[in-house]
């Protein structure tokens, strides 16, 4: 575990976002929640983030669109994509776009913990 790691959590479902922030903090990481990809990009937390957990489907910029923006900006921040949807094409698109992990809601705590640990390894 990297105690100084900041995990940025982006989800327009504020109750889920809050629950994920609490969960990630309980795993020993710093966490900050954002209601949209645009908010995350505008606040200046991108360069401070060690990992991003983002919903795929949100109003405005999607999680996959956010990954493209991060790549264009030269960012190597690992991204964990999450979704409540069940279409298999979503996982294929997530992997093809370079997602570090792809998780379906409800999020399994142990699987999320492993994904974060792998994302933070140099």
Residue pLDDT, tens place only, 44-99: 999 999 999 999 999 999 999 999 999 999 999 999 999 998 887 877 888 888 89
**Residues across the chain:** 122
**0.95 cut: is pTM over it?**
no
**Block residue for tokens 């991204």:** 79
Q: To the nearest whole number, what is the mean pLDDT of the chain?
A: 93
At residue 122, the pLDDT reads 79
First to last CA, the chain: 12
Please tell me the distance from the alpha carbon of residue 68 to that of residue 117, in angstroms, as a whole number: 23
At residue 102, the pLDDT reads 94
């Amino acid at each position: 575990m990297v105690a100084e790691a900041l995990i940025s959590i982006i989800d327009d479902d504020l109750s889920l976002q809050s629950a994920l922030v609490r969960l990630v903090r309980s795993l020993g990481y710093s966490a900050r929640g954002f209601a949209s990809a645009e908010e995350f990009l505008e606040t200046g937390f991108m360069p401070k983030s060690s990992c991003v957990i983002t919903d795929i489907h949100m109003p405005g910029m999607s999680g996959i669109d956010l990954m493209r923006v991060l790549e264009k900006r030269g960012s190597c921040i690992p991204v964990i994509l999450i979704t409540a949807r069940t279409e298999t094409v979503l996982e294929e698109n997530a992997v093809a776009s370079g997602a570090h992990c792809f998780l379906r809601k409800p999020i399994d705590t142990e699987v999320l913990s492993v994904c974060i640990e792998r994302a933070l390894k140099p």
